[in-house]
Structure 1
Amino acid sequence: MFADIAFLLYVGHLIADYPLQTDHQAGNKALPGMAGWRANLSHAVTHVAVCATLLVLGAAALGWSLPTLPALAALLWIGASHAFIDRRWPVTAWMRLARQESWAANGGAAHVDQTAHIAALVVAALCLSA
């Protein structure tokens, strides 16, 4: 069940992060103040909605019985962790701490960002499949 849930959450992540993320969200989600938070949270809500939809479809198609409260907690975790990571400063801070400034300057931040998102999805999948 873990692999099925993790795969659905990963596909949900890809759908929400690429075809459903607007230019406005991508360009403004890390800005300071309310404008940045509005763009960031609307993007995070998209992640929650897509992942929730895929979990419901997966449960129906595969005969799962996901407990409601853990499923809601997992979706809250997905939204909150995604919003946190997408503020960009956590990735920048990590790359500075890990002495990856050169890699960050050459496109590495996008890879660290996606790795952090996938790690958060794995936590959600582990909690749902336990």
Structure 2
Amino acid sequence: MRHAKKAATNPFQTDHQAQHKAECTRTGWTANITHAATHVAACGAMLALGALILPHLSISPLPAAVALLWIGVTHGFIDRRWPVARWMKFARQEGWAQHGGAAHVDQTGHILAVVAAGLFIAAIG
């Protein structure tokens, strides 16, 4: 199924990934996974930088790895687009979805996943 052309929405995503990451094709899955992996690498770099400039904080490798895996999996899942569409239907937000609301729900989901990962690291790591 062809979708309207989508442009990248952040510095860690190509236009190709934005256009194809929700497709159930090899191209779609590759775009989705490479985008999520790039996001995990960026989050890992920021986590390492935080540990470097804040040496008094103790971050154990296993909880950090679990948190980064969580970020990657949830990012890829949210970016399949159908979870956002289902949420908006469940929340009776179809009108907002038709007027660009899905992008806001998508970003909120990503932020919540990263916050959950941070809280996990703070509690465990």
**TM-score, length basis structure 2:** 0.88
In structure 2, distance between residues paired with 1:94 and 1:19: 26
- What is the aligned counterpart of 1:26 among 11, 14, 18? 18
| Count of residues in correspondence between the two structures | 114
Shift of 1:121: 0.7
After superposition, the CA RMSD in angstroms is 0.9
2:81 aligned partner: 88
**Aligned with 1:73 (options 66, 70, 73):** 66
For residues 19 and 128 of structure 1, what CA distance do their matches in structure 2 show?
25
- More relative contact order in 1 or in 2 (CA 8 Å, sep 6+)? 1
What amino acid does structure 2 have at the position aligned with 1:37? Answer: W
Task: Give the alignment partner of residue 113 of structure 2, picking from 110, 117, 120.
Answer: 120
Residues of 2 paired with 1:107 and 1:70: CA distance? 36
Which of 94, 100, 103 pairs up with 2:96? 103
Match of 2:5 in 1: none
**DSSP-derived class of the 1:110 partner:** helix
Superposed structure 1 runs of 4+ greater than 3 Å apart: none
* TM-score normalised by length of structure 1: 0.85
| Structure 1 unaligned spans of 5+ | 1-16
Q: Distance in 1 between matches of 2:111 and 2:73?
A: 14
1:46 to 30, 38, 41: 38
